A and B are shown apart, each in its own frame.
Chain A
């Protein structure tokens, strides 16, 4: 009887390469914030909008991050803030990726004047600093979280359009695309099934990295009064409130830490994804 060598069941087992070290912590933090955002109404220690104690109290066991100038619990408000920041950032990223994908794919694949027109549009948008353009658009639409969201999408999509266009141009010159064309595969099928799957990775990696940036931008717009309006518990708006209460440092610190952890977590994850998929640094 000879020994039978068992074939390897899978080439790689266990955790994927990009889920190690800092990115694992990043994913943990992201999961934690998502869970908080989803479930906080069920176990919230206090009502985020109600006066629940004395004003401007420092951190204590009953109020972990103290209370603000209206006697609301800062810790509770910070947890509820995730219910604004995360969905807003998610919608902004997903919409931008969708718009950017369509524009970038069409421009890169069909080229010529379509490409010229769309890319000039992208150039014009990207000529402005994103925060400035987002401020201008929000201000003209009127302050509010919904308009801030629209403004951020308008500012953000060109990044993905340009990124994907470059990828599409590179991939469409591959031999298998030419070969598919030579045997008559429809152009739209070629774009969808042959080009996009090979061009998409950098967009996904960049979208992950940008998530934190959008959280920051949302907070920035709210900070200067163009995004979420008081009394809604939004991190940027809360920092504004804290900024006027210089000696009550905890009011601004709690939402600040929240922003810090979210942005850092997405940066770690994005970095790891980028290294793992061997994508060159963004535009």
Chain B
């Protein structure tokens, strides 16, 4: 099938942080394509490098060493100068952060903050125009009484409301890609659903590409087209969302799905994955998941597998790729 060229394209992206114990390799070669209007979920547990990948893409990690390539259209973002990055941030690729409680400026009204965000890319915006647009944006993210709420300070709004404001700020300059870094983690479950619905609706209305960073597979199922599973800075599996849920290939993906409580399997005990992810400053040789993997064989501790086509998607596991019995 012929696909449109990706608007965001990562190739062999690597990020490492200098530490006294040597470089902590948080991201170790990520390839990812995002096309207009599509929703890609990047899944992994804390410390798997999913947020770092996206922050590095936008050049938001001044202390990290970033190599490889991250292209918006034809614009290379890795190593780009500040003015290039600033013209992309918010205008082309925008970002919503995890915690709406701490992500808004406490000393400015939300209307003022929206205005500042718009003015960042639209210099000649008049005061009245900016106000009208701010109200329109708040309406778009379904904040009731928007004309009054723009006078509110962040502390006067609930968590869900604040996350809506964050989303309004992120789409204020009509970006093409919206990166949502765990947008619902800090919210309670009913609000989570509303926020995910909002993101899906905005994605359709604005033909936005959505990159959803999350550790919550439940969030992924309802709102993503494709899923990329990350572990210890690498991608271990990449497939369409239904395939991941129906036929997870990588042992790590399977283990993640086992961790979900399921309505259709009533009397099962929800399991946890034993062990902890490896320290990025001290990675074991071979497959980083091998020490926790129930299917590991000897070669897993010596050779690190790379992503190869398998089944309906791609998987980075020597045992699975070799067709060994699960």
B60 touches A184 (CB 8 A): no
B95 touches A183 (CB 8 A): yes
B58 in contact (CB, < 8 A): yes
Closest chain A CB from B103 CB (angstroms): 4
Is the contact region of chain A dominated by helix, strand, or loop, or is it mixed?
helix
On chain B, the residues within 8 Å of A174 by CB distance are 102
What residue of chain B has the Cβ atom nearest to residue A198's Cβ? Answer: B107
CA distance A193 to B109 in the complex (A): 11
A178 touches B107 (CB 8 A): no
On chain A, the residues within 8 Å of B99 by CB distance are 175
B297 in contact (CB, < 8 A): no
A185/B102 contact (C-beta < 8 A), A175-B97, A198-B107 known: no
Closest chain A CB from B28 CB (angstroms): 23
Inter-chain contact total with CB atoms closer than 8 Å: 73
Of the residues B60, B91, B108, contact of A193 by C-beta under 8 Å: B108
CA distance A68 to B94 in the complex (A): 74
B220 in contact (CB, < 8 A): no
Interface residues as binary, A143-187 with B (CB distance below 8 Å gives 1, 0 otherwise): 000000000000000000000000000000011101111111111
B105 touches A183 (CB 8 A): no
B104 touches A184 (CB 8 A): no
A193 touches B105 (CB 8 A): yes
B292 in contact (CB, < 8 A): no
B121 in contact (CB, < 8 A): yes
Interface residues as binary, A198-215 with B (CB distance below 8 Å gives 1, 0 otherwise): 100000000000000000
Of the residues A178, A182, A186, A198, contact of B106 by C-beta under 8 Å: A198
A33 in contact (CB, < 8 A): no
B117 touches A197 (CB 8 A): no
A184/B121 contact (C-beta < 8 A), A178-B60, A189-B116 known: yes
Which A residues are within 8 Å of any B CB, using their own CB?
174-176, 178-187, 189, 193-194, 197-198
A-B contact pairs, 24 of them (CB 8 A): A175-B103, A176-B102, A176-B103, A178-B60, A179-B97, A180-B117, A181-B60, A181-B89, A182-B55, A182-B90, A182-B94, A183-B89, A183-B120, A183-B172, A184-B87, A184-B88, A184-B94, A184-B173, A185-B116, A185-B120, A189-B116, A189-B120, A193-B108, A194-B105
